[in-house]
């Protein structure tokens, strides 16, 4: 369940690309000829959707293989190869690099298989139709798609209510302990460490992912396949392997530089995919028309494309911040002074301090959900405007 919720973002991106490739004319033609909704979907929609459905399943499998924090908390006594690499790295065992390389290689091979199923977005005006009110199976599909977000919101609300009402476990006492009490100074140092890692990583990813996401889908053939591979590769990259690679290649480099770089790499495909869905570019012919009217190239770009890029970068900043704030594997290996909130959460869990750990988990979850909630309305609005 936890891995499924975490993988929802990647699977949703693959699915959105698939639906962008559905030819609405075929659906209307099948319905006009008397086909039912299920048969029309099987004939016109399923051929475009099933490859991306498998690609989404492959990305979810990769994220489960590379999981660390979820395994530590929920699977007592069990360990993934990623967790084994972390444990060996913390013990300064020379075998850590070998385990990380094997894990990264295995994940990369799985990623190469998954990339064969990726379909780039190909939206054409002649294949689109006016927006219609959802009905029947469309309403059911919308409800099913909303279940992960509803479940995540329900978990957040439940934790907050439990913090106020419960007599033991997660109580208001532990919530107050985050800002006052004997452990408050440790929490403040961990929060500062999270900000020092998450803000640079989010800023780097917002610019890098924004440029890649805006260009996604413009090249076809071999160039399009290379771009899709570049977008998918970070999904198949082991954060532990990246952190260990940085440490081996540049051992004198400060972890406050290493950790944001690794986390930016991990968050990149999510930001690029999100911004690609927004499609921050003007309608075809607008730039050429501005040039014909005498506008310089830089001014035409600034007026027609600049605002969209700024909005896309802001959304990417929010998405990347929410992702990097909860990253645990790389933060454990490339530990910065004072640690981060997720690493402190794992320390509390290992010590059996369930109340403090639950309170800190609530705080992390609320902040991350808040970051996504700020960016989601912008994504929805501009995504509809570009479809």
Both tokens assigned to 374: 């700020």
Answer whether residue 167 shows pLDDT above 60.
no
pLDDT in tens, 111-125: 777 766 665 545 444
* Contact present, 93 and 52 (Cβ < 8 Å): no
CA separation for the pair 343, 326 (Å, rounded): 9
- Report the percentage of the chain scoring pLDDT > 70: 63
State residue 250's pLDDT score.
80
CA separation for the pair 366, 107 (Å, rounded): 31
State residue 296's pLDDT score.
73
pTM comes to 0.71
Q: Which segment of 33-42, 129-138, 298-307 scores lowest on mean pLDDT?
A: 129-138
Number of H helices, E strands in the chain: 19, 0
* Contact present, 94 and 139 (Cβ < 8 Å): no
Going by C-alpha positions, the residue among 314, 195, 208, 227 that lies closest to residue 267 is: 208
Confidence of residue 385 (pLDDT cuts 50, 70, 90): very low
State residue 384's pLDDT score.
44
pLDDT in tens, 267-322: 877 777 666 665 555 555 666 677 677 777 777 767 776 777 777 778 778 878 88
In this structure, which CATH number among 1.10.287.3510, 1.10.645.10, 1.10.3720.10, 3.40.50.1820 belongs to the domain 2-386?
1.10.3720.10
């Amino acid at each position: 369940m936890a891995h499924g919720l975490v993988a929802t973002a990647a699977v949703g991106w693959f699915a959105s690309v698939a639906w962008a490739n559905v030819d609405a004319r075929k659906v209307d033609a099948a319905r006009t000829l008397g086909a039912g909704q299920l048969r029309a979907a099987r004939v016109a929609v399923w051929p475009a959707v099933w490859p991306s459905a498998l690609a989404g399943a492959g990305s979810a499998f990769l994220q489960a293989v590379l999981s660390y924090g979820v395994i530590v908390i929920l699977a007592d006594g069990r360990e993934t190869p990623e967790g084994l690499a972390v444990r060996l790295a913390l013990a300064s065992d020379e075998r850590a690099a070998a385990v990380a390389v094997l894990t990264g290689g295995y994940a990369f091979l799985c990623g190469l298989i998954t990339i064969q199923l990726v379909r780039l977005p190909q939206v054409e005006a002649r294949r689109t139709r006016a927006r219609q009110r959802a009905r029947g199976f469309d309403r059911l599909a919308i409800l099913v798609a909303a279940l992960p977000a509803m479940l995540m919101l329900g978990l957040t609300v439940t934790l907050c209510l439990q913090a106020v009402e419960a007599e033991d476990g997660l109580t208001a006492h532990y919530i107050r302990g985050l800002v006052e009490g004997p452990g408050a100074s440790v929490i403040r140092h961990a929060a500062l460490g999270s900000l020092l890692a998450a803000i640079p990583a989010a800023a780097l990813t917002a610019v890098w992912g924004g440029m890649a996401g805006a260009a996604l889908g413009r090249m076809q053939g071999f160039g399009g396949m290379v771009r899709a591979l570049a977008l998918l590769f970070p999904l198949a990259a082991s954060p532990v392997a990246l952190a260990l690679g940085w440490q081996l290649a540049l051992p004198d480099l400060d972890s406050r530089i290493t950790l944001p770089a690794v986390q930016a790499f991990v968050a990149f495909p999510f930001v690029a995919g999100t911004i690609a869905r927004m499609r921050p570019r003007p309608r075809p012919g607008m730039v050429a028309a501005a040039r014909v009217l005498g506008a310089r190239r830089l001014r035409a770009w600034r007026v027609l494309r600049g605002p969209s890029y700024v909005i896309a970068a802001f959304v990417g900043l929010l998405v990347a911040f929410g992702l990097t704030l909860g990253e645990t594997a790389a933060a454990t290996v490339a530990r910065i002074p004072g640690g981060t909130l997720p690493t402190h959460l794992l320390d509390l869990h290992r010590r059996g301090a369930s109340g403090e750990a639950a309170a800190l988990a609530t705080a992390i979850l609320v902040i991350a959900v808040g970051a996504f909630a700020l960016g989601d309305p912008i994504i929805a609005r501009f995504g509809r405007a570009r479809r």
